[in-house]
Amino acid sequence: MVDVKSICCIGAGYVGGPTCAVIAYKCHNIKVTIVDLNQARIDAWNSDKLPIYEPGLEEVVFDRRGKNLFFTTDVDAAIEEADLIFVSVNTPTKKTGMGAGMAADLAYIEGATRRIAEVATRSKIVVEKSTVPCRTAESMRTILEANSTGSIHFDILSNPEFLAEGTAIKDLLNPDRVLIGALQTPEGISAQKSLAAVYQNWVPEDRVITTNLWSSELSKLAANALLAQRISSINALSAICEATGADVDEVAYACGRDSRLGSKFLKASVGFGGSCFQKDILNLVYLSQQLNLPEVADYWQQVVIMNEYQKKRFVRKIISTLFNTITNKRIAVLGFAFKKDTGDTRESAAITLIKDFIDENAHVAIYDPKVEHEQIYMDLAEPGVVDNRKQLEKSISICGDAYEACKGADAVVIVTEWDEFKSDQLDYQRIYDNMHKPAFLFDGRLLLDAAQIREIGFKVHIIGKNELA
Ligand code: NAD
């Protein structure tokens, strides 16, 4: 077993940054160096304005930075110094080529693995932190072994990350479980114990789960697929609720009281977003296809299909309610991040919705408390369209607060469940007074009390609720 004194994390993103900052915070005797090829990102980690927003992150980073926590682009030096290396690089869905739109692009995993093989002059424990298709560790081992000399040995572990953006620090400080997979050889089990010992500095022993490598890799895909499946299930039920007079909150509550089901992840919405759910399910779908299991692939694919349907259904409802046209109407979109308490917009439902509104010739006024304006332009840009920025500027305005966005609007659409959009924090009477009449409000996050908002004068549609009930 190795007494880990120095850790390197390759990839200073939403996972690598917070995860390894928390290790440094909890293990003062371990030197943690987080590296990235992206100079701007590393500069931001070394500045007062961190590159990502997460509640509690600044406290952790500012407490340990410069003491036992370092951010650098000097990848090779950090690899060389480390006893244990986390690979926490991006694994996006392939955009082009075979498997485009489905398979995980493992180029960054391979790049980081090759770098470790080339640079290391002594044995290392290499840990997959990224979410990867099942058996990726085998490819990593082949690359590492082919490039290592006789005296250097690499152990590969799988340690997928289960943090949720928006609660990352809370999740990391108090995880439901930490999963460590290893080859069931004496060396593999010894490496597994070395990493477990790091986590046991703050995670109770019974929450550290050890499994074989492949179970660990698959468990991450499975966990995300199961979570997304619950969202798609309640969203499918929300459509039935709207058509029948059942109330999706009441249905979720009634079902969630069954201890076999539990109440979490039964909140209907405009659809899930984020960089992981869709990508990881598609990854599972692709894996099933490769394993010649088409029925299994179809089963998981349906979760993504339902998610897309929910977004389109919401847009259709908005257009039909606004007398079948939103041409030249002002639509205020509250929220652009894929969920509250993060500035992350990857796969956010807001992007799909706003693009649809623009296609229908509406003017969209957008407000989000944490997303940078430039990010919004980047997310809405259509690749390859000449003068796209100028066109976009005609179709959207990015506003400094919710009141500005809603001023003169025909409809307000709540897309992200930020607390500041709740009725006790936002003055909906003021919003109503400054809107075109009739004033419509569409709540894609079940944030508001319909009766209270109708009282003001709004015409309200809330996902999963029947207006006539
Ligand atoms: P990210 O894109 O925010 O960060 C990845 C970073 O890796 C980038 O900054 C990139 O520049 C860097 N990188 C790529 N190749 C490199 C190399 N060879 N050397 C140095 N740096 C390199 O991605 P993320 O959101 O942190 O996700 C990382 C992994 O964790 C993915 O596999 C993802 O599926 C998984 N994951 C993400 C979340 C989440 O909530 N974001 C949660 C659990 C797991």
One-letter-per-residue 3-state SS of 394-416:
HHEEECCCHHHHHCCCCEEEECC
- Type of residue at 316: R
Q: How far apart are CA 266 and CA 446, in angstroms?
A: 12
Among 275, 279, 339, 344, the mutation site with the greatest number of ligand 1 atoms within 8 A of its Cβ is 275
Domains 6-203 and 277-462 share a fold: yes
Q: Which atom of ligand 1 is the closest one to the Cα of 130? A: 32
Residue whose CA is closest, atom 1 of ligand 1? 13
Mean pLDDT to the nearest integer, 295-302: 98
Report which DSSP code applies to 163: -
| Residue 130 marked as a ligand binder | yes
Mean pLDDT to the nearest integer, 135-164: 93
* pLDDT higher than 60, residue 468: no
List, by residue number, the catalytic residues. Answer: 276
| Residue 194 marked as a ligand binder | no
Q: How far apart are CA 376 and CA 372, in angstroms?
A: 7
pTM attached to this predicted model: 0.95
Residue whose CA is closest, atom 43 of ligand 1? 161
User: What residues line ligand 1, using a CB cutoff of 6 Å?
Assistant: 10-16, 35-38, 41, 75, 88-91, 108, 111-112, 115, 130-131, 161, 163, 165, 275-276
Q: What percent of the chain clears pLDDT 90, i.e. is strictly above it?
A: 94
Instruction: Give distance in angstroms: CA of 108 to centre of ligand 1.
Output: 9
| Residue 133 marked as a ligand binder | no
Among 9, 10, 15, the mutation site with the greatest number of ligand 1 atoms within 8 A of its Cβ is 15
Q: What angle do CA 227, 421, 52 make, to 5 degrees?
A: 60
What per-residue confidence (pLDDT) applies to 469?
47
Q: Are 127 and 85 in contact (CB under 8 A)?
A: yes
Question: Which of the four CATH numbers 3.40.50.1970, 3.40.50.720, 3.40.30.10, 1.10.10.10 does domain 277-462 have?
Answer: 3.40.50.720
Cα–Cα distance list, 317 to 234, 460, 466 (Å): 18, 11, 12
Mean pLDDT to the nearest integer, 81-94: 97
Write down the domain spans for the chain: 6-203, 277-462
Mean pLDDT to the nearest integer, 205-209: 97
* pLDDT higher than 90, residue 149: no
Q: How far apart are CA 143 and CA 25, in angstroms?
A: 33
* pLDDT higher than 70, residue 238: yes
Cis amide bond preceding 51, omega within 30? no
Instruction: Give distance in angstroms: CA of 17 to centre of ligand 1.
Output: 9
Write the DSSP assignment of 220-271 as a string of letters.
HHHHHHHHHHHHHHHHHHHHHHHHHS--HHHHHHHHHTSTTT-STT----S-
Mean pLDDT to the nearest integer, 104-123: 96
Among 89, 109, 114, 280, the mutation site with the greatest number of ligand 1 atoms within 8 A of its Cβ is 89
Residue whose CA is closest, atom 23 of ligand 1? 90
| Residue 327 marked as a ligand binder | no
Is the complex ipTM more than 0.85?
Answer: yes
Instruction: Give distance in angstroms: CA of 87 to centre of ligand 1.
Output: 9
Average pLDDT, the chain: 96
Q: What does the pLDDT look like over 252-286, one tens digit per residue?
A: 999 999 999 999 999 999 999 999 999 999 999 99
Instruction: Give distance in angstroms: CA of 461 to centre of ligand 1.
Output: 37
Classify strands 69-72 and 411-414 as parallel, antiparallel or unpaired. Answer: unpaired
Q: Which atom of ligand 1 is the closest one to the Cα of 41? A: 9
Residue whose CA is closest, atom 3 of ligand 1? 13
Q: What angle do CA 84, 89, 91 make, to 5 degrees?
A: 135
Instruction: Give distance in angstroms: CA of 61 to centre of ligand 1.
Output: 18
| Residue 93 marked as a ligand binder | yes
Nearest to 42 by CA among 77, 72, 67, 69: 72
Any idea of the CA torsion for 54, 56, 60, 63, to the nearest 10 degrees? 120
Q: What does the pLDDT look like over 352-382, one tens digit per residue?
A: 999 999 999 999 999 999 999 999 999 999 8
| Residue 164 marked as a ligand binder | yes
Q: How confident is the model at residue 388 (pLDDT cuts 50, 70, 90)?
A: confident
Q: Are 166 and 345 in contact (CB under 8 A)?
A: no
What per-residue confidence (pLDDT) applies to 400?
98
More confident residue, 388 or 42: 42
Instruction: Give distance in angstroms: CA of 397 to centre of ligand 1.
Output: 31
Looking at domain 6-203, its CATH superfamily turns out to be: NAD(P)-binding Rossmann-like Domain (3.40.50.720)
Q: Which residues pair with 212 in a beta bridge?
A: 182
